[in-house]
Structure 1
Amino acid sequence: MGKGNKEGTSKQFRWTKPTEHLFLEILVEEAQKGNKPSNTFKAVSINRVAEVIFERFQVQCDAKHVENYLRTIKNQWQIICTIRGESGFGWDDYMKMIMCDRATYDSIVMTHKKYEPFLNKSIDHYDEMTLVVGKDMATGSFARTFVDIDLDDGNQDSVPIDCDNEETKEVITKVSSSGTSKRKRKIAQESVVDE
């Protein structure tokens, strides 16, 4: 008899890449349906993941396994958010990758070994994780895309901007020059990563 299992079962459930992918795929659907009213999923969503994994892979997956793995994903997400919040790290939105130079990588991995899987490597299922465990993400009926937002709402409180005003030109110049320096820094960071 297996440790902590019911009689007659001796095999532990193991998460594999295909089951992880299915787990995230289902929970994204559930979040979009509105079954994640706060920071947790409804029991029906957790049970659905376990049932679909059993049906597709013919392995016994319980709600407890799903809840434990959801905790693991939340811990990974917390690490990702912590790293992205620290200085010295860049973000490649196309590759879904936290970037840093070799010196930063070596020093941070010495003090925080758990950061290593998320540095200078594409983060698998980043967008799905954002929906499943991200706290600031709207779900269900509250989720809106740019297409859903009516920009021409006839807002009477809006004030037209006088673009010929000297103060406006000064602000535009400051904003555009700060954008240029950000681009120069990004290009410099990319060249360091390439080396």
Structure 2
Amino acid sequence: MFSQSLVGWTEMESVEVTAASGSSGRAGIIVWTNSMTKTMLGFLAGLVADGKRTSSGFRDVHHRQCAAVLNEQFKLSVIGDQVKNHLKKWRKIWGRVANLKNLSGALWDEDTCTIRLSEEHYAGHCMTHKADAPFLNTPIEHYHAMASIYGTMGAKGQNARSGNDLLSIDLEDEENGEVNTSPNVGESCDPKAPPKKKAKIKHVVEDPLVITLKDGFKLVAEALVKSSRDDDDIPDDLWDVISTLLDFQEEHLAHYYAHLVDNPKTARAFMKLTQINKSVWVSRYVKKNF
């Protein structure tokens, strides 16, 4: 299975290029947009709400039903295996979110679905965990759908479940390509558990030196986040531009798009070319690989 994903996390925008695996590869390559992901997660969350998911997770019939909805709405040829593979990606994202919600000092904003850290905590954490930056101090898109599918988190603290608990699935299901998303995972089993209390933020007068250090940490964190994005930055309209090259088969264009996704610097250079030179680059790639 060929898969490459890009995430522009300022708006949690997700684009993933995926090919079906095994004998189901007839559908070829699919480019997942944020709208398609929202539809997929919303449909599967609806199955959970209706009690149609089995105790061992979603079945192939559920994946095929979801693919049919996507095909109807977006005029595509998605198959169940591609839905299953994309769902696994979001299971991993949910695991990361679950771990971050349990960070010491983290505040959960229910209204905006945001994990909030103080500026100095955010800066220090991002210095050693760059990959976590897109999930902190910014709204987490698709959070409610993920929570419905993978299980809601309990209260932070002693009774909180860790992200590893959420990611524990049966080996047999994993080998069969099925994700065990039990509705009980991550939920408190005590019906008398006390309600969540809103975290209180204490405002204190800070020392000027502390303020200076905080500003310095913030600048370092912003620079680290920016540097981590620069090398992997893919133009938002890359696929739209490639799809205008009508002299090539769509399958070849999809393969070239995947090639550019793997090579962000080449992708940015490609976008600066004239239409004729873009065609030259694609033609050269097609001759070399097909």
Normalising by structure 2, what TM-score? 0.44
Cα displacement (A) at 1:4 = 6.6
C-alpha distance in 1 between matches for 2:108 and 2:19: 42
Amino acid at match of 1:91: W
Q: Mean alpha-carbon deviation: is it higher for 90-99 or for 61-70?
A: 61-70
Q: Does 2:121 match 1:104?
A: yes
Query: Displacement, 1:54?
Result: 1.0
> Quick one: which amino acid aligns to residue 95 of structure 1?
T
CA root-mean-square deviation? 3.3
Give the length in aligned residue pairs. Answer: 147
Unaligned ranges ≥5, structure 2: 3-17, 152-165, 167-181, 185-196, 205-290
TM-score normalised by the chain length of structure 1: 0.64
* 41, 44, 60: which one aligns with 1:27: 44
Alpha-carbon distance, 1:96 to partner: 0.7
| Corresponding residue for residue 13 of structure 1 | 30
Number of the residue aligned with 1:74: 91
Structure 2 SS opposite 1:91: strand
Whole-angstrom CA distance in 2 between matches of 1:44 and 1:188 = 53
Match of 1:186 in 2: 201
Q: What residue identity is the alignment partner of 1:116?
A: A
Higher percent of residues as strand: 2
Q: Which amino acid aligns with 2:67?
A: A
CA contact (8 A) 2:19 2:29 kept: no
Q: Distance in 2 between matches of 1:10 and 1:63?
A: 10
- Partner residue, 2:61: 44
- Which of 79, 85, 89 is the matching residue for 2:106? 89
Distance 1:18 1:47 in 2: 18
- Which of 107, 127, 130 pairs up with 1:113? 130
Matched to 1:58, the amino acid is K
1: CA distance, partners of 2:127 / 2:82:
32
The alpha-carbon deviation at position 188 of structure 1 amounts to: 4.3
**Structure 1: runs of 5 or more not aligned:** 139-178, 190-195
Q: Tell me the distance in 2 between the aligned counterparts of 1:41 and 1:137.
A: 11
Code of the residue aligned with 1:23 in structure 2: it is M
Residue 145 of structure 1 corresponds to none
The aligned amino acid for 1:107 is G
Structure 1 residues 81 and 100: alpha-carbon distance in aligned structure 2, compared to 1, 3 A threshold: same
Deviations 1:68-115 (A, max 9, x none): 111111111100110111202111011110001222112222222221
Q: Tell me the secondary structure at the aligned position of residue 14 of structure 1.
A: strand
- Residues 53 and 187 of structure 1: is their aligned pair in 2 closer, same or farther, counting only changes over 3 Å? farther
Tell me if the contact between 2:27 and 2:78 (Cα under 8 Å) persists in the aligned partners.
Answer: no
Identity of aligned residues (%): 25
